[in-house]
Structure 1
């Protein structure tokens, strides 16, 4: 089968700009109002991040939640076509949420002075805050997360009546409301702080880059690199989704973004619909493992653990590469099994040409990574990255409006020096340059379209942040329950008691807990919940701190691939025109590395570039790192051959069982299991080589 380049390339960004309401806001007057509220929300977040507006952290968090409530209810009602009555209720709930934020602003100092002794009106506003957040979470994400958070809130109120050891000393209603709705332990805790600072900025950053053409850049580079190879269509999906993961914070959003292009492409080239959907789901969820953004969990993890951001990235980088290498290997084997080939190279876009045409889009991402790894805070790095992206977008249309190439070069040089001046003059220099470029775009051809792109990016960024922000607010109730009652200790003691007899069993129990809690819950709240409950228990069993948190993070991501919920797979279902459950079963096979790597890292922390473990103590740090990477790669390769049933030729059942046994023993990391695993791997590969050579000789004789 052959296809032209025009058939496989996605629509250009300019096509998106033709719709002034591309951010999925209704086209009515109400929709336009909501769109401008979203723009103001984004501008407020930028202003507070850049310290243009200076407010106490508690007030910033309260306004963040207030904006979330103001947008969620009317936007959901309008997008679902509800009648006037429901819309009136929605606006009533929205204004109630705003009232809570205004109350926190007006009463900021008095609330500090009467902390622990709330007035009646404090309790009323606290109840309104909790009620609106629960309702917002329900209408936006379904019942799972509100039910879980509601159980924890009920435990605060009624847990004293439970039998030991589940009971606590008891807390009255006003104490619980005061703890949850005020201060920094409940809904305004660390999750909402991170949402109101780092996460929102990085969502905006990704929104601007996507609209500026980053998706097309990633797709063209992927097509140019591997589109011609065996199974090239699926390999394009793996690479483009991995690249999207560097700027995107949502795996499910990646499925519906890149999947619109990659899934039909895979189907055209012969991949089964379920497998095509599984590849895209697995790759998109893996994007949350890929630094620098990591689905925004990296920032929450760093803040929770009190460590530098780059420490989280250091722990994530090798597992992320192994995850995508595993998915790449799986689609390579599937293509070999069914004889699936790629596009003719002459019909594919040039990767080098794509980079030459849009290399400037990589600059903000490169600067972002540089700042994060040189000790700057994520808040500062995100602000600078977003400002540079704005400069590129706004400056691009101004440069195109200049009459000749020489003036364009001079313009970009001057703009480059202006952007570099932030090292001396701070964020003010970038803000001045941005204001000048906005004014310039009012007078150049195409400038209004560029300004419309910026407006749409601001609105879409705010809209994208809604489920993340609401999730961060409601999981604050769970964390508040932990800090108020010490509930995590009960579960932790159970995990530790199991671990005394078997660390492996305690890890399996933790894995199951993460996957069950993750059903229907986004990755960020799932990580926060499971790390609060299971993280301390794994630490008590001797698992390094960051490894224990990465363990629960990985299985929180995989919860979106595992049945019965499998959000990413069901999102891919309509695109692939296949059952979400069938896609989920394929995704589990493709994502095998995701299930394997966390266990291997617990037994050998060097896989996450951490000190500790018997291997590092006896061999030294870097030899241990090299060994575990080689062993993990071999285990993944064997597992892929066993699952797909192909390695240079179709495998017999006993060969697949042998490969499975070899892979499993390499993973377990018990005494002599490595030796057994290498021996079984050598036996498997040796007999495969001999049988292939015998088959080749037989074919030669036949000729």
Structure 2
């Protein structure tokens, strides 16, 4: 390695300050465009991608931190801004000559393609760029392939027009969702995290479950479920709540692999947990042209069953290993934690109300974000008021002000924020709160980069699939299998999700698989929303399955254990949750798709019994250690409850009753 002389390096403080300012400008641009909509959708997408590329090239130099690498990063960052400016300045001309690119258009499109691919390589490795590169090769050379895979052939300018201009490629639906809903909700979570929501959730979960059997692991499950309501990011959940829960589990007797597996499994479920869910949920709603609330409602029961299965597995493992909880006196008072930080729940409650009262995610996220800033800044001012009655009056006035925003509009929200910022600046002691808000803006922008880059790059897949129609060939293959067995089609789709998940994030995994497999499942009679959620579910579980398990490797340095060991534990802990999407396909009422209240309650009870049996089977413990025949009988009972044939439910209930009754009988016989 060549040694770099000190004088060649840019001062770290300057570099950090530059990134801070770029991230702050990025977040400010996104908030202003969400509130006031000053730009067209195409320009918004182009500038969003431009900011993403700038942040990647400034933050991740190609070769270390030497001056030449940083200068090269600046050149690439300026080139990225130039591609965004080109879309903005020549917007009208590009619309008029759509499909007939000029030489300048072609070179700008090629430059954008290279920049997006290189940024994705730096941010997430080679796997996704290689897959997208294969799609580009297919578009250019696929006419030479045999059989149904061949297409009529496309020139380079046709492909660049599809990818770099219009709304079918880099600026497609995923990028639009990233530039609007996703960024706002990531920013919303960043504000709440900076304000102390993590401590509120962990203290609350610790107070409720820390002293029970397997308490530390149960705290991990509950706190991760609560964190899922604001972050919607599994890996972010691992590295936040995991810093507290994994060492705690290890201290009370859990092995490092099990502790990391519990945290990874519970954290990945955060993407399933309404109201925020993961970025994929917003892309799904936009793709299917349904309200986001429909996606959230459909995902609610499977999310609860997922966390219930993890909680159950943790309980059984703790009982089997004889692990107790913490002494009650070491656990915080959950209600005291609520009393101390109750005001942080105001924006979350209003966000949920807005989402489920018919407002768009964009409006709901903007108002929720604004109210979060107001509550944080307002709480800093309230602490300045020494008189108890005046402080109470302040909070009442702030609550009335917040409730009035629904009628007054977004502009008033930002006007009040500006006033509170001024007041905080006037109070010298409150400037720390103002810095907290600025840091939250920067952290939100930083967390949005991996999601946004993935959304931009998967536009290649969407564009090529739309251009060539290749999805119909794979769909025909699945339909051919489905004529013989729907279960085999579902199994093939699941394996596709898990294999793709070995190298790419959840968003491109979902987009690839849903664009190819979901239409085929619809032809086989699976409701469209159910088929998309089936793909979404296993795209999430792919981050737990070996050999490449992103969530598990994120937990590895905290647990001080190999990522593969954690992954094997995570699959074992989540194994009961693998049955939920299959059951939803056979019983769509589990996702609230058809059937009345009784049908929903019946399938919910049946699913709970199935995952309860599978949890006992794979831990080998119920009330007592299970024998081989009990585990096999429980496994068959769980499968029967999932299959949903006319005779299978009766057999499943009978076998389940046999296993439970025998286990209880054995437990009663013991002294």
Secondary structure of the corresponding residue to residue 520 of structure 1: coil
Residue 329 of structure 1: how far off its partner (Å) = 0.4
TM-score, length of structure 2 as denominator length:
0.97
Partner of 1:555: 538
2:59 is equivalent to residue 75 of structure 1: yes
Task: Select which of 220, 231, 235 maps to 2:203.
Answer: 220
Question: Does structure 2 retain, via aligned residues, the 8 Å contact 1:554–1:594?
Answer: no
How far apart, CA to CA, are the structure 1 residues paired with 2:220 and 2:665? 34
Task: Select which of 129, 143, 156 maps to 1:146.
Answer: 129
How far apart, CA to CA, are the structure 2 residues paired with 1:475 and 1:442? 43
Secondary structure of the corresponding residue to residue 483 of structure 2: helix
TM-score, length of structure 1 as denominator length:
0.93
Instruction: Report the CA distance shift for 1:686/1:419 in structure 2 as closer, same or farther (over 3 A).
Output: closer
Secondary structure of the corresponding residue to residue 27 of structure 2: helix
Residue 180 of structure 1: how far off its partner (Å) = 0.6
Q: How does 1:570-589 map to 2 (within 5 A)?
A: 570-589=553-572
Secondary structure of the corresponding residue to residue 28 of structure 1: helix
How far apart, CA to CA, are the structure 2 residues paired with 1:68 and 1:152? 23
Question: Does structure 2 retain, via aligned residues, the 8 Å contact 1:421–1:429?
Answer: no
Residue 344 of structure 1: how far off its partner (Å) = 1.5
1:464-490 deviation per Cα after TM superposition (whole angstroms, max 9, x unaligned): 000000000000110011111111111
Partner of 1:424: 407
2:599 is equivalent to residue 624 of structure 1: yes
Question: Does structure 2 retain, via aligned residues, the 8 Å contact 1:322–1:593?
Answer: no
Q: How does 1:194-233 map to 2 (within 5 A)?
A: 194-233=177-216
Secondary structure of the corresponding residue to residue 294 of structure 1: coil
Question: Does structure 1 retain, via aligned residues, the 8 Å contact 2:373–2:417?
Answer: yes
Query: Aligned-pair RMSD on alpha carbons?
Result: 1.4
Question: Does structure 2 retain, via aligned residues, the 8 Å contact 1:246–1:291?
Answer: yes
How far apart, CA to CA, are the structure 1 residues paired with 2:175 and 2:576? 31
Residue 388 of structure 1: how far off its partner (Å) = 0.3
How far apart, CA to CA, are the structure 1 residues paired with 2:125 and 2:64? 18
Secondary structure of the corresponding residue to residue 421 of structure 1: helix
1:489-508 deviation per Cα after TM superposition (whole angstroms, max 9, x unaligned): 11101001100000000000
Question: Does structure 2 retain, via aligned residues, the 8 Å contact 1:418–1:429?
Answer: no
Residue 81 of structure 1: how far off its partner (Å) = 4.2
How far apart, CA to CA, are the structure 2 residues paired with 1:629 and 1:654? 27
2:50 is equivalent to residue 50 of structure 1: no
Count of matched residue positions in the alignment of Structure 1 and Structure 2: 662
Please list every run of 5 or more consecutive structure 1 residues that lacks an aligned counterpart in the other structure: 1-25
Greater shift, 136-145 or 418-427, is seen at 418-427
Secondary structure of the corresponding residue to residue 548 of structure 2: coil
How far apart, CA to CA, are the structure 1 residues paired with 2:93 and 2:473? 36
Partner of 1:333: 316
How far apart, CA to CA, are the structure 1 residues paired with 2:30 and 2:356? 24
Partner of 1:519: 502
Residue 413 of structure 1: how far off its partner (Å) = 2.7
1:264-313 deviation per Cα after TM superposition (whole angstroms, max 9, x unaligned): 10011111111111100000000110001111222111111011111111
Residue 523 of structure 1: how far off its partner (Å) = 1.4
Q: How does 1:391-540 map to 2 (within 5 A)?
A: 391-540=374-523
1:38-61 deviation per Cα after TM superposition (whole angstroms, max 9, x unaligned): 00100000000001x501100000
2:671 is equivalent to residue 688 of structure 1: no
1:188-241 deviation per Cα after TM superposition (whole angstroms, max 9, x unaligned): 010000000000000000000001010000001100110110000000000000
How far apart, CA to CA, are the structure 1 residues paired with 2:457 and 2:410? 33
How far apart, CA to CA, are the structure 1 residues paired with 2:662 and 2:386? 69
2:363 is equivalent to residue 365 of structure 1: no
Partner of 1:87: 70
How far apart, CA to CA, are the structure 1 residues paired with 2:192 and 2:635? 42
Partner of 2:139: 156
Greater shift, 284-293 or 591-600, is seen at 591-600
Question: Does structure 2 retain, via aligned residues, the 8 Å contact 1:520–1:567?
Answer: no
2:88 is equivalent to residue 105 of structure 1: yes
How far apart, CA to CA, are the structure 1 residues paired with 2:330 and 2:577? 34
How far apart, CA to CA, are the structure 2 residues paired with 1:398 and 1:81? 44
Question: Does structure 1 retain, via aligned residues, the 8 Å contact 2:101–2:161?
Answer: yes
Question: Does structure 1 retain, via aligned residues, the 8 Å contact 2:214–2:315?
Answer: yes
How far apart, CA to CA, are the structure 2 residues paired with 1:225 and 1:47? 40
How far apart, CA to CA, are the structure 2 residues paired with 1:65 and 1:164? 37
Task: Select which of 544, 558, 569 maps to 2:552.
Answer: 569
Task: Select which of 26, 32, 35 maps to 2:17.
Answer: 32
Please list every run of 5 or more consecutive structure 2 residues that lacks an aligned counterpart in the other structure: 1-10
Residue 411 of structure 1: how far off its partner (Å) = 2.5
Residue 628 of structure 1: how far off its partner (Å) = 0.8
Q: How does 1:234-273 map to 2 (within 5 A)?
A: 234-273=217-256
